[in-house]
Amino acid sequence: MKNQMLNINVTSSLVDKWRGDVIAVAVYDDQQPQKSLEECGEVVSEEVKRVLKDRWINGKDGETLLIPTPAKSGILAKRVLIVGMGARKKVNLEGLRVLGAQLVAACEKHNITSMNCLMALDKHNGIKRNQVLESVAEGIWLGSYRFEQFQSKKSKEESKPVNPKVYFATRKEHTDRSKKSLEAVAAICRGVNLARDLGNSPGNILNPETLVDRVKVLMEELPVKVTVLNEKALAKKGMNGILAVGQGSGTPPRLITMEYNNGGDKPVLAVVGKAITFDSGGISIKPSVKMEEMKFDMCGGAAVLGFMQAIAQMKLEVNVVGIVPTAENLPSGSAQRPGDIIKTAKGVFVEVVNTDAEGRLILADALHHAESFDPEVIIDLATLTGACVVALGAHASGIMGNNSKLLKKIRKVGDGCGDRVWPLPLFDAYQKQIKSTVADIKNVGGPGGGTITAGCFLSRFVEEDRDWVHIDIAGTAWDMASSKPNFPKGATGVGVRLLCSYAEKYFA
Ligand code: BES
Ligand code: MN
Ligand code: ZN
């Protein structure tokens, strides 16, 4: 079940004497390959530079050229791969991640068994050497992810899995630092790929109970304390939001709490993730077109789990509590009805106008639970509204919150790590839209502003002076088109990189 990522190492041996399959070089569109290699230092000999000199490609973004190593060159590797990076001025971290994924694609296409990457792309556009290594490695690890758990041997062979050994040519004095960088990136990528595995798992395999089992196994070997509330315990705490959503399913709901305390007396960061293992809509049932994609409705929770695993593996010096409410939203004789009124753990009465607006009901109790840890910041992630897919599509998650400085920080972190976010307002005027005539609030807030009124609903369950950010990942959590090479079809693992970068920057 464990996701095996391919091997990436650094090597400082002279590239000429490297006896592998492919030497990979990236070039901008404004220069010949040998020029960029100057920056590789002693690991690249004059021979390599001479060989590459005439093998000029335009260097356009995504362009690749694979040539057999010319005879008598003195280079022991079998082949040389040149990859175009596009315009020098346009190169950024995201471009480097895509480059890594392009290298993976080349490995698959040409059956490359080992690859020594000469990525001498530092000192440009403010990108540091380590960032080049980190971004390209991330692209390789995230681009080579496959969900093959349920494919029999035959179809796996058909898809010809390649598992190249990857090296980065590195100057000797940089090897220790580079290895450390790779370790950290590996932990983050394992977290992203864990979130993808969970997201891609279908509803018959992953339900609230099996998710709990999985979490216990995953966290057992890590310094993370796991506490699980079952129906009885949920009832005792008055968590009727979670209970109501789960009551239509044969598999009862749960609330998972994970505590990672490795930050001494530093403040606590609380992260909350929606984990509806399947969302049929309940009695307010969804149309059947694309309903199968509602197995992804636990991707917020998956992001929290991937994040917890990553920070624990990195031994990040932070205090984090991860909270994952999980339920299955099904219609049945025991399901909640439209019109039901429930009392949440916080004491707020909610009129359930639409049972398909279930995410906010489980988050209501989970956010209230997060308050009990007195965190400095609460961040929640949820595939909350179809309206967010309409507003922002697949290239940014929606963010809302009660502290504009914090929102700005999250935006900046998102721009850097690739999990981009964009703000929507929580003006008071929108709050009126969720006023109920029979309870305190109702769980839908039409007409208009569906993502915002969902955010307004959640805001009622955090204390007013608590810094809180809500991230709607409905449009970014999965991508059936694989529109980016570092994001294969299916769950994207969105949120893991964002949370890791944020925790590293502001809580470590
Ligand atoms: N999980 C869905 C939101 C969703 C829909 C995410 C499509 C990604 C793609 C959520 O539980 C939901 O059904 N929301 C409703 C809310 C409405 C009833 C107020 C929606 O967005 O239609
Ligand atoms: Mn729903
Ligand atoms: Zn949902």
Tens of pLDDT, residue by residue over 240-261, are 999 999 999 999 999 999 999 9
Residue 179 in domain: no
Q: Which helix (H) or strand (E) holds 498?
A: helix 496-506
Ligand 1 pocket: which of 363, 385, 392 to mutate (most atoms within 8 A of CB): 385
Residues 308-356: tens digit of each pLDDT: 999 999 999 999 999 999 999 999 999 999 999 999 999 999 999 999 9
Q: Is 261 exposed, middle or buried (0-12, 13-18, 19+ CB in 10 A)?
A: middle
What whole-number percentage of the chain has pLDDT above 90? 79
Q: Whose CA is nearest to atom 7 of ligand 1?
A: 386
Q: Provide mean pLDDT across the span 197-219.
A: 98
Do 222 and 313 touch, CB atoms closer than 8 A? yes
Q: Which atom of ligand 1 is nearest to the CA of 383?
A: 6
Task: Tell whether the model's pLDDT for residue 472 goes beyond 70.
Answer: yes
Examine residue 164 and say whether the peptide bond preceding it is cis (omega within 30 degrees of 0).
no
Q: Name the more confident of 15 and 506.
A: 506
**How many structural domains is the chain composed of?**
2
pLDDT value of residue 59: 79
| Token duo for residue 362 | 């489980």
Ligand 3 center from residue 274 Cα (angstroms):
8
- Residue 115: band (very low, low, confident or very high) from pLDDT cuts 50, 70, 90: very high
162 and 247 in a single domain? The answer is no
d(CA 239, CA 246): 11
Q: What is the CATH number of the domain that holds 128?
A: 3.40.220.10
**What is the chain's alpha carbon radius of gyration, rounded to the nearest angstrom?**
24
pLDDT value of residue 157: 59
d(CA 321, CA 432): 32
Residue 217 in domain: yes
CA nearest to 469, candidates 418, 414, 410, 415: 410
- Tell the residue number behind the tokens 């080049």, with chain if given: 132
Q: Provide mean pLDDT across the span 281-290.
A: 98
Lowest average pLDDT, out of 111-125, 202-216, 435-449, 461-475, goes to: 111-125
Q: Which one of 45-59, 111-125, 283-297 scores highest in mean pLDDT?
A: 283-297
Examine residue 447 and say whether the peptide bond preceding it is cis (omega within 30 degrees of 0).
yes
Ligand 3 center from residue 460 Cα (angstroms):
19
- Who lines ligand 1 at CB under 6 A? 279, 297, 354, 356-359, 383-387, 389, 444, 450, 474
pLDDT value of residue 90: 85
Which DSSP string corresponds to 304-327?
HHHHHHHHHHHT-S-EEEEEEEEE
H helix count then E strand count, the chain: 16, 20
Q: Which atom of ligand 1 is nearest to the CA of 281?
A: 13
83 and 217 in a single domain? The answer is no
164 and 197 in a single domain? The answer is no
pLDDT value of residue 1: 42
164 and 206 in a single domain? The answer is no
Beta bridge partners of 382: 472
* Structural domain span for residue 403: 193-506
pLDDT value of residue 389: 98
d(CA 121, CA 127): 8
Amino acid identity at 153 = K
Active site members = 286, 360
Residue 180 in domain: no
CA nearest to 386, candidates 485, 247, 501, 293: 293
Task: Tell whether the model's pLDDT for residue 155 goes beyond 70.
Answer: no
